[in-house]
Amino acid sequence: MCPPEHFAIEYVINPWMDTGTAVDAGLALRQWHFLHDTLAGLGHRVHVLSAQAGLPDMVYAANGAFSVDGTVYGARFRHPQRAPEALAHQGFYAAGGWTFAEGNHVNEGEGDFAYLPGAYGGLILAGHGFRTDPAAHAEAQEVLGRPVVSLKLVDSCFYHLDTALAALDDRHITYFPGAFSAASQRVLAQLFPDAVIADQADAEAFGLNLVSDGRHVVLNAEATGMGEKVRAAGYQPIHVDLSELKRGGGSVKCAVAELRPRP
């Protein structure tokens, strides 16, 4: 995670951003600390990356890379405003002794990649349509050695895979079908017949932008309907208020890069 110390809406690169509304910097920081402490309180070890001036979106740490079993596929951001963030993430993994592969194609890390270790022997789901180049899906498959299923996003409000789909545990997912092309909806229904289906209201409340440890599902405070859906599916919803990060087009999942070391 990376604290929103320099968080602001300085440019518009998704439909949620509006340079006309000021963010409450103090509130953003307090909300971020609450999320951090919630994850730590659940027993998770949280590493913190130093925020850098001039990189207002760096709080969305999920976009910096994607790791599977100790190997990291590095991000290459679509927009020049965010490009330097990739280097900060690379430095973190290099210092930790991870195997690091630089992305040669545009990809926004866990924003557009999800990993299901228990599905089909280890499956990667990957989004394209707005940010990540489909060529990066093939590259990720070669780097990480797991099958990558490409899914096309069609609604600009849900421009990253992690705004429309989430892993609930090692092999179960939840998603909002309307964010995907008809063909990709068919692929998801075929691979995950038991998925928790979310609706437009759940997605607009950033209810899909969640972090789950397989038991606890941490999700945005506004996503009450989504909380009930995951509870009915057997998980414990934990709501956190991230109203300020939502102004930049993100929520819980965007703020967390999950680390998957070698087993």
Catalytic residue IDs = 160, 254
∠ at Cα 210 (100, 186), nearest 5°?
85
Strand order of the β-sheet with 123-128 is 113-116, 123-128, 148-152
2 touching ligand ARG, by CB under 6 A? no
Phi/psi of residue 47, each to 5°? Answer: -95, 145
CB 178 within 8 Å of CB 200: yes
Phi/psi of residue 236, each to 5°? Answer: -100, 110
Sole residue written with tokens 């969640």:
210
Q: How far apart are CA 105 and CA 20, in angstroms?
A: 32
Task: Please state the closest distance from residue 151 (CB atom) to ligand ARG, in A.
Answer: 15
- 250 CB-side CA count, 13 A: 30
Q: What is the DSSP letter of 11?
A: S
Using DSSP's 3-state secondary structure scheme, residue 83 falls into coil
Binding mask 118-137 for ligand ARG (x = CB under 6 A): --------------------
| From 26-34, 43-51, 140-148, 157-165, span contacting ligand ARG (CB under 6 A) | 157-165
Choice between 93 and 206, CB closer to ligand ARG? 206
Q: Could you say which of 60, 130, 176, 180 contacts ligand ARG (CB under 6 A)?
A: 60
256 touching ligand ARG, by CB under 6 A? no
Size of the site for ligand ARG (CB under 6 A): 16
Task: Please state the closest distance from residue 160 (CB atom) to ligand ARG, in A.
Answer: 4
Choice between 133 and 162, CB closer to ligand ARG? 162
Choice between 64 and 237, CB closer to ligand ARG? 64
Name the residues that contact ligand ARG, by CB under 6 A: 13-14, 17, 57, 60, 62-63, 82, 111, 160, 162-163, 248-250, 254
